[in-house]
Amino acid sequence: MSEMKNKVVIITGASSGIGRAAAIKFGGGGARVALVARSGDKLAEVVRLIEADGGEAAAIVADVTLKADVERVVSVVVETLGGGIDVLVNAAGILKAGTVEDTSLTDWDHLMKINVRGPFYLMQCAMPYLIEREGNVVNVSSVNAVRAFPGVLAYCVSKAALEQLTRCTALEMAGKGVRVNSVNPGVTATQLHRSGGMDEETYAAFLEHSKTTHPLGRVGQPEEVAELIYFLASSKAAWITGGTHLIDGGRGQTCAR
Ligand code: NDP
């Protein structure tokens, strides 16, 4: 039997991309998956996919920037999915282009609220339950957390903050048996860049150019990142905490030239 059988797993950003792929992976592993995002229709489709495969899933429509929504996510999960929480995957996130000269305070605050405050408050609210079950957290960070790229200033800063949040929480919680890790993808084929404002033509050119910026010569697929998230959440990773785990086709090892 899969070790994820009946584990209660919360995944934010489960309506699309990496979160969606992770939800399907955990659902396939027998976990009881709580799927969190704002788009109810898309979540319902992922629930259907998981259930069609014999898995168990529930959609919770919520905005991770809203305190009351985050609190509701945790209480609904605990009340309806089996009395506790084993794994929290913080995958919800947004990207917005902008430099130090033109990033508006509105964009800055919005990025920080979704990419940093969201994971922080979810971890805080879920922590008593994670401690109870000696569970773990996987935060979906980015290669942009550890390398600087021009033109996506606030995004890079938000991911660097998430990285430090991961490390600090890992140290604070290690004595209580809770592990906390980051996965750090390079460019992955999802909606992120389009939702962030890229039109189709620019996105196609960006994907083509990404073949040269990723030494392995291609972008990643969300399912590849989901495999790493699943591994880190499993007992196979029982001695791994506070880690930055690049999954980026080698991008994080490159230097501009
Ligand atoms: P997608 O745009 O495909 O998915 C983003 C997800 O976040 C959606 O499910 C969206 O759901 C959810 N989301 C956004 N805002 C909120 C909110 N306020 N409350 C709740 N959910 C929200 O992008 P990815 O799958 O690529 O992104 C997942 C994570 O991976 C992000 O943290 C991103 O920064 C990171 N990442 C992605 C890379 C890439 O190249 N794709 C590279 C490195 C890291 P909804 O709109 O329904 O609320």
| 257 domain-assigned | no
pLDDT tens, position by position, 89-145 = 999 999 999 999 999 999 999 999 999 999 999 999 999 999 999 999 999 999 999
In the predicted model, what is the mean pLDDT of residues 54-68? Answer: 98
Q: Using 50, 70 and 90 to split pLDDT, how confident is the model at 82? A: confident
Report the domain count for the chain: 1
What token pair was written down for 63? 């905005």
Catalytic residue among 121, 155, 203, 230: 155
Given its phi and psi angles, is residue 140 left (phi above 0), alpha (psi -120 to 50 degrees) or beta?
Answer: beta
Q: According to the model, what pLDDT value does residue 211 have?
A: 95
Separation CA 226–CA 17 (nearest Å) = 10
Q: According to the model, what pLDDT value does residue 179 have?
A: 99
pLDDT tens, position by position, 145-189 = 999 999 999 999 999 999 999 999 999 999 999 999 999 999 999
Alpha-carbon dihedral of residues 24, 30, 32, 38, nearest 10 degrees?
A: 0
Calculate what percentage of the chain has a pLDDT beyond 70.
Answer: 100
| 199 domain-assigned | no
Q: According to the model, what pLDDT value does residue 18 have?
A: 98
Mutate to test the pocket of ligand 1, among 137, 155, 192 (most ligand atoms within 8 A of CB): 192
Helix (H), strand (E), coil (C) string for 127-163: HHHHHHHCCEEEEECCHHHCCCCCCEHHHHHHHHHHH
CB 129 within 8 A of CB 171: no
CA 90 to chain centre: 4
Give the CATH number, domain containing residue 111: 3.40.50.720
Q: According to the model, what pLDDT value does residue 151 have?
A: 97
Ligand 1, residues at Cβ distance < 6 Å: 12-13, 15-19, 37-39, 42, 63-65, 91-95, 114, 140, 142, 185, 187-188, 190-192, 195, 222
The domain of 156 spans 8-190+222-246
pLDDT tens, position by position, 200-245 = 999 999 999 999 999 999 999 999 999 999 999 999 999 999 999 9
Comparing 255 with 141, the larger pLDDT belongs to 141
- Whether the predicted pLDDT of 39 surpasses 90: yes
Closest CA to 166 of 147, 145, 185: 145
| 139 domain-assigned | yes
| 63 domain-assigned | yes
Position in ligand 1 atom list of the atom nearest CA 141: 44
Q: According to the model, what pLDDT value does residue 256 have?
A: 78
Q: Using 50, 70 and 90 to split pLDDT, how confident is the model at 192? A: very high
- Whether the predicted pLDDT of 1 surpasses 90: no
| 39 domain-assigned | yes
Helix (H), strand (E), coil (C) string for 66-126: CHHHHHHHHHHHHHHCCCCCCEEEECCCCCCCECCCCCCHHHHHHHHHHHHHHHHHHHHHH
Bridge partners, residue 244, by sequence: 182
Q: Using 50, 70 and 90 to split pLDDT, how confident is the model at 71? A: very high
| 3 domain-assigned | no
| 200 domain-assigned | no
Alpha-carbon dihedral of residues 175, 3, 142, 59, nearest 10 degrees?
A: -110
- Whether the predicted pLDDT of 257 surpasses 80: no
Residues 6+ apart with CB under 8 A from 113: 65
Sign of CA dihedral 60, 32, 184, 170: positive
- Whether the predicted pLDDT of 29 surpasses 80: yes
- Inter-helix orientation angle 222-233/17-28, to 10°: 50
Q: According to the model, what pLDDT value does residue 17 have?
A: 98
| 215 domain-assigned | no
Q: Please compute, for residue 96, the number of CA atoms within 13 A of its CA located in the half-sphere on the CB side.
A: 22
Q: What is the β-pairing status of strands 56-61 and 179-185?
A: unpaired
